[in-house]
Amino acid sequence: MTDLLVSLAVLGAAVLVSEAIRRTAGLLSPGAFGIYLLEAASTFQLCCCTHELKLLGETARLDLAVSLTLTYTMTVIHLISFRGATCNPCGALEGVCRGISSLRAAVVIIACQFGAGVAAQYFAASVWSLGLSDVHIRHHRFDFKCFDPLGGTLLEAAAVELACAFTVQAAAMHIHKVDEKLRAHFIAAVITFVVYAGGSISGAVFNPVLAFSVWFPCSGHTYLEYCFVYWLGPVLGLTSCILLFEKIIPFLSGKSTIGLDVPAAPKQKTQ
């Protein structure tokens, strides 16, 4: 129980630090620079919390119900606090394809995301070095090493990442059909489900920058193999979902794309 309480405190600290950065960015930099800070702070929060949840799940041997409850709760907190930040390179590239942002802005955003992912690694290691719980002490004793996260072959893991990204993207594309007050809970429930379904095979990350921060330092496979699973898989999943729901299905049914069912998002002035 002590390990769980300490980890909850770490999660709370990561959220509070990130929220302070977001509010400061909103007050001091309302323009493009503020958007970049928002992405960096939110990605930092996502990666820090995932580092702690991963360690807790691997070493504390929590009940499945407790693990899924933590995943669901933290996902709701992320969705509520991110203020529109994607925290995912796939989301930044999607914005370019839809004409919402420029390629230059997307490159800067992705750079901010990866920088935040690296910062989260140092933040997690610094917290674990304090030895606040038995879980942290044991992890420090093993020099923060992490081992092969894949529970299947490379193809199986890549397929799971593709399926996870496809499922979450499909839910996001149809979120306008859900009551606004329930949208964060709906997406959180979908993410919790895919984590439960695919977590044992690939970790169910479906986010290139999150995978880079959490899984790439792990032994067992090369960086290129991890790129195949955690970068190519999610990109193909998101792309195939958009093609299916916005091109193939409307073409077969003779209707316009799903995007016309939702008001167009305003373009960000980040050029």
Give tens-digit pLDDT for 233-261.
Answer: 999 999 999 999 988 988 888 765 444 44
- In 130-153, which ranges are continuous DSSP H helix? 134-141
Neighbouring residues of 238: CB distance < 8 A, sequence distance ≥ 6: 90, 94, 165, 166, 169
Residue 258: predicted pLDDT: 45
Number of other CB atoms surrounding residue 191 within 10 Å: 23
Are the C-beta atoms of 73 and 121 separated by less than 8 Å? Answer: no
d(CA 247, CA 245): 6
CATH class of the domain defined by 2-261: mainly alpha
Please give the mean pLDDT across all residues of the chain: 88
Binned at pLDDT 50, 70 and 90, residue 29 comes out as low
Residue 266: predicted pLDDT: 43
Residue 61: predicted pLDDT: 76
Q: What is the mean pLDDT of residues 156-185?
A: 94
Token readout for 153 is 């072959």
User: 91-95, 112-116, 254-258: which has the minimum mean pLDDT?
Assistant: 254-258
Q: What is the mean pLDDT of residues 14-28?
A: 88
Residue with tokens 């909850």: 8
* Helical pair 154-173 and 183-202, crossing angle rounded to 10 deg: 170
First to last CA, the chain: 49
Q: Give counts: helices (H), strands (E), the chain.
A: 12, 0
Are the C-beta atoms of 211 and 146 separated by less than 8 Å? Answer: no
In the DSSP assignment, the letter for residue 205 is -
Are the C-beta atoms of 165 and 90 separated by less than 8 Å? Answer: yes
Strands (E), 128-185: none
Does 34 score more than 90 pLDDT?
no
Token readout for 151 is 């529970």
The more confident residue out of 26 and 195 is 195
Residue 265: predicted pLDDT: 41
d(CA 142, CA 55): 13
How confident is the model over 57-90, as pLDDT tens digits?
888 778 889 999 999 999 999 999 998 899 999 9
Does 270 score more than 70 pLDDT?
no
d(CA 187, CA 170): 10
By the 10 Å C-beta count (0-12 exposed, 13-18 middle, 19+ buried), 210 is classed as buried
Q: What is the mean pLDDT of residues 145-155?
A: 88
Nearest 5°: CA angle at 199, between 242 and 86? 40
**Strand, coil or helix: what is 79?**
helix
Q: What is the mean pLDDT of residues 39-48?
A: 96
Does 14 score more than 50 pLDDT?
yes
Ordered by start, the domain boundaries in the chain are 2-261
Q: What is the mean pLDDT of residues 30-36?
A: 78
> What global pTM score does this model have?
0.88
d(CA 104, CA 86): 16
User: 53-57, 107-111, 115-119: which has the minimum mean pLDDT?
Assistant: 53-57
